[in-house]
């Protein structure tokens, strides 16, 4: 049965001023209770049309904890709905998290993920608060708290050109904090130059040695930069039906009730070309169809590339962040994948040839994700 995924962008406001933030000016514009109620009704109607009782909700911002009362208002509203199975996720910068708040989120079944870019020097290079002060010390406290409630907490780490040389050290720092699910991503809106990629290649080579060392030590962990690309080689590349199919499998609700295909399109200023509807009026199916057509359009710049089937060129959001268009593959993705996949494949070959049990278990046991999560949370 198909599920429905919706993201509530509760506010445009944030207490941080991350240099790579794509959402625009941080204004205290929050989703009203009326808009929340209208959004809940809209979601219910969509679920009925799909014939599904499975719903995935993400709380986003800005910083969603600025509007924490509304998070619990939404949870309570759906708790009153019969025959609806809801899972909740939230992404936070961690600086507003308290013990009592974490307890309540945990009790309500909200899976909380943390944004942290690496060791303090790296983190504070781009994630300062509104007063220009560092935040790494606050995030470290939040990390300890979150891991006590959920040892399988996920971390999202953004890599910028000026921090490319410190990727391995940052991953190791995050690992030593206790995190075992680390999602790494590039700042695709940044001005990446050849010298940055040269530094990044050296970082990937260092990270390869780190990965092999952890595998030999029988550590249980997920590192997206490496594990996603090993998967694309071990198993079939991501099929069309597995992708987000922009604006169809998931959607984002802006604070004013506007509907957008994904989180990257919700900004302080509206983007009419990506506006796929409103909670009061429903989806604009013509716009959805148009965007899907652009997204699935052949990328001529990728024709003939041997890595095309393993590359994330299909991600409209990444393409948009890098090029401003969803039908044009990101040159940053292209250059990064060519560097990274070669290193990852060599890493996998070494572990395979050595018949490393952890590696084989991780990448050839289809039950690994469930087993690993259980083992980590013991």
Q: Which helix (H) or strand (E) holds 11?
A: none
Residue 177 buriedness (CB in 10 A; 0-12 / 13-18 / 19+): middle
How many other C-beta atoms lie within 10 A of the C-beta of residue 213? 10
Say if 273 falls within a structural domain. no
The verdict on residue 294 lying in a domain is no
Distance CA 32, CA 307 (A): 46
**Chain centroid offset of residue 151 CA:** 18
Task: State pLDDT tens for residues 99-152.
Answer: 999 999 999 999 999 999 999 999 999 999 999 999 999 999 999 999 999 999
Tens of each residue's pLDDT in the chain, 378 residues: 578 999 999 999 999 999 999 888 898 899 999 999 999 999 999 999 989 999 999 999 999 999 999 999 999 999 998 889 999 999 999 999 999 999 999 999 999 999 999 999 999 999 999 999 999 999 999 999 999 999 999 999 999 999 999 999 999 999 999 999 999 999 999 999 999 999 999 999 999 999 999 999 999 999 999 999 998 888 876 654 455 667 777 899 999 999 999 999 999 888 899 999 999 999 999 998 888 888 888 787 888 888 877 887 778 888 888 888 888 888 999 999 999 999 999 999 999 999 999 999 998 887 776 556 555 555
- Rounded to two decimals, the pTM is 0.92
**Total of domains in the chain:** 1
Q: Could you tell me if residue 222 is inside a domain?
A: yes
Q: What is the pLDDT of residue 241?
A: 46
Amino acid 115: pLDDT:
97
Query: Residue 356: CB partners within 8 Å, gap ≥ 6?
Result: 215, 216
Q: What is the CATH number of the domain that holds 131?
A: 3.20.20.70
Residue numbers of the domain that contains 173: 4-241+335-377
Does 43 map to a domain? yes
155 touches 40 (CB < 8 A): no
Residue 228 lies in a domain: yes
Residue at 62 is within a domain: yes
Burial annotation 234-263 (CB, 10 A radius, 16+ → b, else e): eeeebeeeebbbbbbebbbbbbebbbbbbb
> Within a domain: residue 271?
no
Note whether residue 313 is domain-resident: no
- How crowded is residue 63: how many other Cβ atoms within 10 Å of its Cβ? 22
Q: 104-138: string of b/e by CB count within 10 Å (b at 16+)?
A: ebeeeebbbbbbbbbbbebbbbbbbbeeeeebbeb
């Amino acid at each position: 049965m198909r599920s429905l995924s919706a993201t509530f962008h509760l506010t445009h406001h944030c207490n941080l001023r991350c240099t790579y933030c794509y959402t625009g000016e941080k204004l205290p514009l929050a989703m009203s209770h009326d808009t929340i109620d209208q959004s809940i009704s809209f979601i219910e109607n969509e679920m009925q049309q799909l014939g599904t009782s499975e719903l995935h909700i993400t709380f986003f911002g800005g910083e969603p904890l600025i509007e924490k009362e509304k998070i619990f208002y939404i949870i309570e509203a759906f708790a009153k709905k019969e025959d609806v199975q809801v899972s909740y996720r939230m992404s936070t910068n961690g600086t507003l998290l308290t013990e009592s708040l974490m307890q309540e989120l945990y009790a309500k079944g909200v899976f909380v993920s943390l944004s942290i870019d690496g060791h303090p020097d790296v983190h504070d290079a781009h994630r300062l608060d509104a007063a220009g002060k560092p935040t790494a010390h606050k995030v470290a406290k939040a990390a300890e708290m979150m891991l006590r409630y959920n040892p399988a907490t996920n971390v999202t780490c953004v890599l910028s050109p000026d921090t490319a040389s410190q990727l391995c050290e940052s991953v190791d720092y995050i690992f030593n904090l206790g995190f075992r699910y680390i999602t790494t991503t590039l700042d695709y809106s940044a001005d990446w130059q050849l010298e940055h990629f040269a530094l990044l290649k050296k970082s990937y080579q260092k990270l390869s040695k780190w990965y092999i060392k952890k595998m030999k030590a029988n550590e249980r962990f997920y590192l997206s930069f490496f594990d996603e690309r090993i998967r694309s080689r071990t198993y079939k590349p991501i099929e069309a039906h597995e992708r987000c199919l922009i604006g169809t499998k998931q959607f984002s609700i802006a604070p004013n009730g506007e509907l957008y295909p994904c989180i990257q399109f919700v900004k302080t200023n509206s983007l009419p070309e990506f506006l796929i509807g409103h909670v009061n009026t429903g989806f604009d199916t013509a716009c959805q169809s148009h965007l899907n057509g652009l997204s699935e359009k052949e990328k001529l710049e990728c024709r003939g590339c041997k890595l095309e089937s393993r590359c994330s060129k299909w991600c409209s959001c990444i393409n948009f962040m890098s090029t401003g268009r969803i039908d044009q593959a990101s040159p940053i993705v292209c250059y990064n994948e060519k560097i990274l996949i070669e290193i990852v494949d060599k890493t996998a070959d070494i572990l395979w040839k050595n018949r490393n049990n952890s590696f084989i278990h991780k990448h050839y046991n289809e039950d690994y994700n469930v087993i690993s999560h259980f083992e980590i949370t013991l």
